[in-house]
Amino acid sequence: MEDDLGELIYLADPPGTSGHVVSLRVLARPAPGGDVLDCEFVVETETVKGSFPVYVTSDDLDDWEEAPGALAGFVSWLNSGRTVQFKIKPVSPGVIAVSVHDGPSSQVTVSVRLFPATGWIDDQRARLEGVRRLFSG
């Protein structure tokens, strides 16, 4: 993975806690004129570490762009059935449940509760802007 490609999604517990992390890493730039990013969801807990390959299209990014505005409530993304599905649900103040479901392939679902840092929604917006720049440069 090229270090400068980054992560479209990065949700993590604060340092010194459980250490749960859910991220969507960008693995490769889109082909010139292309609209597909090679990515992988990575889920890390005390007992589970797994990754799920996923291709994210520019249309998927458009859908994700709408999600941060709704992150105070339930969000479900990548629902087409062609790839891994991603969900975020508030559980209580300061706590979210995040799940990654690999429906098309392994049928595995990994769900974790996270205590994201203050400003996590703005961080997701900034990450999206950074990933969108991969399509233009």
Structure tokens at 68: 């941060």
Asked if residue 127 has pLDDT above 90, the reply is yes
79 contacts 104 by C-beta, under 8 angstroms = no
Predicted local confidence at residue 73, as pLDDT:
75
Residue 83 is given by DSSP the state S
Asked if residue 2 has pLDDT above 50, the reply is no
Predicted local confidence at residue 91, as pLDDT:
92
- Give the Cα separation of 122 and 56 in Å (integer): 21
> For 68-118, what is each residue's pLDDT tens digit?
666 667 899 998 888 899 999 999 988 999 999 998 888 899 999 999 988
Task: Give pTM, 2 decimals.
Answer: 0.89
Which residues have CB under 8 Å from 104's CB, separation 6+? Answer: 81, 82, 83, 84
Predicted local confidence at residue 110, as pLDDT:
92
Q: Look up tokens 């799920």; give the residue.
A: 52
- 16 versus 59: which is more confidently predicted? 59
**Number of Cα atoms under 13 Å in the Cβ half of residue 107:** 0
Task: Give residue 39's Cα distance to chain centre.
Answer: 10
Residue 64 is given by DSSP the state H
